[in-house]
């Protein structure tokens, strides 16, 4: 292989690694795993389609684990909030994770989800958190069963963790407040992504050899973000920039 091509490959890997580190820090600071961001970066750098889903889910699991531990230690996790969501999401994510969609179907679905994620992140950057300070004692169980199953199916098919869909679903009807939502979402992402990756492993041939490097970057970024959060970052500005990046990636999937 020519030296120029090797250099270009190394440079792209390093750029993707830096982006994964930054995304993990940002997403974990607000209780998310970051799959939509990882997918957007991989789309922009033209990582092969068959690798995007398992890579995003793997990094999601690592970052969501750190975030969930933080909320567990803080006392925000409640099994009664989580089980109605994961009861159907686990089998749905596993089954859909074993399905490989044709490219002409996968790309527009993922593009639409990235655009929806961008809308949520922009909304999250302008909304007043005090507006969602009140919540209900229990999350409505029958409603969340269907929500969990639907998001689980989308997660397995596309590689998103589902946090950017679940968060507004919980917040807008005021089922939960901001902190409680973040705790629920982190747990849901961990379980959902694990089930989706397990299903995907049935048909997966291999992961890129660079995955340990990307995993380390995501773990370090996730640890920093989960520990320091807004002390380290300017969340509102960065959320808007990230929303813009998701719009670009989403449109790329839909239009090309």
- With cut-offs at 50, 70 and 90, classify the pLDDT of residue 194: very high
Span 71-114, pLDDT tens digits: 787 777 788 888 888 999 999 999 998 888 888 888 888 889 88
What are the structural domain ranges in the chain? 3-255
| Cβ contact 50:159 at 8 Å | no
* pLDDT value, residue 5: 38
| Cβ contact 138:182 at 8 Å | no
CB-based contacts of 38: which residues, under 8 Å, 6+ apart? 20, 23, 55, 56, 59, 60, 218
- 237, 246, 103, 72: which is closest to 164 by C-alpha? 246
CB-based contacts of 25: which residues, under 8 Å, 6+ apart? 221, 222, 224, 225, 232, 233
Span 207-232, pLDDT tens digits: 778 889 999 999 999 888 877 654 54
| Cβ contact 111:253 at 8 Å | yes
- With cut-offs at 50, 70 and 90, classify the pLDDT of residue 182: confident
pTM: 0.82
């Amino acid at each position: 292989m020519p030296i120029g091509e090797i250099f270009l490959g190394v440079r792209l890997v390093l750029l993707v690694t830096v982006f994964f580190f930054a995304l993990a820090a940002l997403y974990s600071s607000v209780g998310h795993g970051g799959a939509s961001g990882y997918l957007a970066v991989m789309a922009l750098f033209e990582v092969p389609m068959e690798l995007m889903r398992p890579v995003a889910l793997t990094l999601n699991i690592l970052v969501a684990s750190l975030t969930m531990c933080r909320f567990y230690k803080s006392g925000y996790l409640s099994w009664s909030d989580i089980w109605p969501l994961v009861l159907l999401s686990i089998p749905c994510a596993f089954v859909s994770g074993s399905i490989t969609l044709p490219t002409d179907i996968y790309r527009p679905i993922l593009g639409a989800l990235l655009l929806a994620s961008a809308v949520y992140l922009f909304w999250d950057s302008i909304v007043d958190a005090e507006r969602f300070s009140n919540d209900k004692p229990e999350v409505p169980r029958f409603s969340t069963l269907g929500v969990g199953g639907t998001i689980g199916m989308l997660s397995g098919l596309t590689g998103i963790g589902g946090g950017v869909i679940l968060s507004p679903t919980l917040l807008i009807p005021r089922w939960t407040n901001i902190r409680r939502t973040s705790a629920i979402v982190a747990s849901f992402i961990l379980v959902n992504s694990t089930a989706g990756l397990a299903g995907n492993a049935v048909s997966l041939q291999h992961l890129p050899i660079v995955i340990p490097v990307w995993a380390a970057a995501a773990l370090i970024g996730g640890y920093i973000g989960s520990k320091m959060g807004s002390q380290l970052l300017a969340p509102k500005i960065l959320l808007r920039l990230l929303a813009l990046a998701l719009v670009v990636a989403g449109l790329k999937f839909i239009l090309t």
